[in-house]
Chain A
Amino acid sequence: MMLLKMFLAFLGIGAVAFGGGYAVLPLFERIIVDQYEWFTRSELLDMLAVSQVTPGPIAINSATFIGFTLYGVVGAFLATVGVVTVPVVLISVVSVYQQRFKNSKAVQAIFRGLRPALAGLIFASVYTLSGDVMIDQWSYLLFLLFVLLLVKFKVHPIVVILLSAVLGLLIYWP
């Protein structure tokens, strides 16, 4: 039963995972952390970090990770299949009516609302996730440094994560 619940959770996440990347985070938080309490916010962040340094899309990687941690290989398989099922079905349907979809005024109108909403969703996650993470002055200092490196100097995300691991170890040395 729990396996089915998890599959359905990821099926639902996949169905509205517009933008594919971090815009799915609020859904992950709400369903996986708040609703089912499978993981804490900090654990979710740890899995995201690992998913980010691993090749492959973050949404898929974190689904695999969460499924595997919960129910082993079967869980990993079901979570991954769950998250891609609705998009794959939609692609198959839409590719048949490709021209009509591309020129559709209705689709364009819907996306006029959806695209900026994705930015709002991502910022919402920054807000709700940071509570457990921004624990002292160091975290704020590191946050500013990392944003500067990413936005201004276009440093690769993997480099920033590796740097944060080294700095974390040095700052919070036991």
Chain B
Amino acid sequence: MIPLFEREFVKRYGFLSDDEFYDALVICQSLPGVIAVNFAVYIGLKLRGRFGALVSALGVTLPSFIIIMVIATFVFRHVDNEYVVAIFKGVRVSVIALVFTAGYRLFIRHRHWYGVFIAFLTFTLVAIAYVHPFLVIVMMGAYGYLTTKIAEVVRHDAS
């Protein structure tokens, strides 16, 4: 989706410069939510204020909103069909594989001990200890903040 945004907004229409695009990307990735929607809202806001944000948010969500509703109407209607059951037995495995691959790609970008420790701790807390993911997300953000601050203080004292 990101290259598509760059082609349309930077190269084709010139709504944003290269630097502005990069800044926007950093912000949209750092905030919660889907990058595509965040980006659309950001650009809409920048170009046409609140109304622009509303229009671009609608623009980016409406097509899939309609498509999903059309598909949803058909999919669960045939859920008792034996052939559909067989198909979904295979499809579920591919979804697990997709999720695993997404986790793996994120994981190999954080192979330093700090990242591996946090990933392992998060996994254990959510999957084994059954702590609420909401709480774990807040905890890990706080952990990142505190450890970085402590490291800063220690470095400051040493020098």
Contact = CB atoms under 8 A, between A and B. Distances in A.
A105 B75 CA distance: 47
A160 B97 contact: yes
Interface of B: 1, 23, 26-28, 30-38, 41-42, 45-46, 50, 53, 57, 61, 63-65, 67-69, 71-72, 75-76, 82-83, 85-107, 109-110, 114-123, 126-127, 132-134, 136-138, 140-145, 147-149
A107 to B, nearest CB: 6
A38 interface: no
B37 A68 contact: no
A142 B123 CA distance: 24
Contact of A139 (B93, B103, B105, B148): B93
Contacts of B32: 14-18, 20, 86-87, 90
A129 interface: yes
Contact of A172 (B90, B100, B126): B90
15 contacts: A15-B32, A26-B126, A50-B72, A56-B63, A56-B68, A88-B38, A88-B53, A110-B142, A110-B145, A119-B122, A132-B92, A146-B97, A160-B94, A161-B94, A172-B90
Given A26-B133, A113-B143, A61 B76 contact: no
A117 B17 CA distance: 32
Given A12-B134, A69-B72, A90-B31, A114 B92 contact: no
